[in-house]
Amino acid sequence: MSDDLNMTDALRTRAEELDAADPLAKRRELFALDDGVVYLDGNSLGALARHVPARMADVIAREWGELRIRSWDESGWWTAPERIGDRIAPLVGAAPGQVVVGDSTSVNVFKALVGAVRLVDDAARDEILVDATTFPTDGYIAESAARMTGRRIVPVEPGDVPSAVGPRTAAALVNHVDYRTGRLHDLPGITAAVQGAGALAVWDLCHSAGALPVGLDAHGVDLAVGCTYKYLNGGPGSPAYLYVAERHQARFDSPLPGWNSHADPFAMTSGYAAADGVLRGRVGTPDILSMLALESALDVWDGVDLADVRAKSLALTDFFLECVAAYVPSGALRSLTPAAHAERGSQAALACTEAPAVMRELIARGVVGDLRRPDVLRFGFTPLYVGFADAERAARELSRVYGEVTRAA
């Protein structure tokens, strides 16, 4: 028993030291977090930034309530999709003018994948490679995109994409980080392999943007999509974004040509003429309330170095897994998260036969992660507001809950 207490004291002391040295520690104060709760589900829904409610009160009461329709011009509502896109751009390693915000991730996957096939414009390239481990909606959308463009879907493990691409490949759709395991896939290498075969690379950044440097421009990515309600903390259902590399914009042919992407939207002509640049990714009237909540939430990133975010993310997940190994009996849980930093996103995934009961009890005790059925416990580490003491407490509670649940089973 004394050895267990000494180990716990040592890990708690280390957590305090790591938190004291953390350059991002003060960012936690920007978020509305409950005392006594460890929130490790920011990879599903990011925490609320404290200043957002006041901003939204002004949007609703003044911009909508008083200015009303004048706000499309006077409050900048009309230009919000590209303006907010330019704020997201540095977080994904893109220059201005290549990211537009609007619609859901699913809608943007459809735009990007159909647009990629149309950019390739080669009937002999009749295959679309799709990440076989992808988040389900990406697969559903890809199937629809394939039917629309006369292609067929070829499911491929992300690591096998470089050997699977060939003269029949039009495009490849890959997730940057696996949503279940937290595995980080090789964006530079896969992109180069896809393009080397004459195809285009489309990336889903939902589980990487805001957690680690992405480098879209540096790695020559063709198209990318991502959500904003996870690590970017935009709020439930906040609009997603679409990245179209500048070199592709003049030929990007969206399958959803709405009036907002028209070269002259208010001409109200019956014929469609696409706008210049990334505005081609717009569709219909943007969801202003959720879009402006996102814009306000992005303020928490002002002055943040993504290198610090990545360093803390890796340190947090390392420390959490170390604490789990120290507290939980050997062999009780199986880590699905890669040990190698180059292969890890910003979450820890643990396989456990009693996962539903364990997560349910963890949440009841104030450690909020989530479950991926049937047996995966997911813990998301959002570097802007999760600390090392959180990681230690989560592992300690996990050990207690696991013991209680398995004894009761």
Can 312 be counted among the known catalytic residues?
no
- 136, with CB counted inside 10 A (0-12, 13-18, 19+), is exposed
Can 204 be counted among the known catalytic residues?
yes
Spatial neighbors of 95 by CB under 8 A, at least 6 apart, are 89, 217, 246
Is 221 in contact with 187 (CB distance < 8 Å)? yes
Catalytic member of 39, 110, 179, 229:
229
The radius of gyration of the chain from alpha carbons, rounded to an integer in Å, stands at 22
Catalytic member of 125, 230, 344, 396:
230
Q: Residue by residue, what is the 3-state secondary structure of the chain?
A: CHHHHHHHHHHHHHHHHHHHCCCCHHHHHHECCCCCCEECCCCCCCCCECCHHHHHHHHHHHHHHHHHHHHHHHCCCCCHHHHHHHHHHHHCCCCCCCEEECCCHHHHHHHHHHHHHHHHCCCCCCEEEEECCCCHHHHHHHHHHHHHHCCEEEEECHHHHHHHCCCCEEEEEEECECCCCCEECCHHHHHHHHHHCCCEEEEECCCCCCCCCCCCCCCCCCEEEECCCCCCCCCCCCCCEEEECHHHHCCCCCCCCCHHHECCHHHCCCCCCECCHHHHHCCCCCCHHHHHHHHHHHHHHCCCCHHHHHHHHHHHHHHHHHHHHHHCCCCCCEECCCCCHHHECCEEEEECCCHHHHHHHHHHCCEECEEECCCEEEEECCCCCCCHHHHHHHHHHHHHHHHHHHHHC
Catalytic member of 22, 131, 204, 390:
204
Place of tokens 């109200």: 268
Report the distance separating Cα 328 and Cα 392, nearest Å: 12
Can 230 be counted among the known catalytic residues?
yes
Dmax (CA) of the chain: 79
Catalytic member of 39, 110, 135, 319:
135
Can 388 be counted among the known catalytic residues?
no
Catalytic member of 280, 378, 393, 396:
378
Residue among 138, 106, 131 nearest 183 (CA): 131
Can 39 be counted among the known catalytic residues?
no
Strands 370-372 and 367-368: unpaired
Please list the active-site residues: 135, 204, 229-230, 378
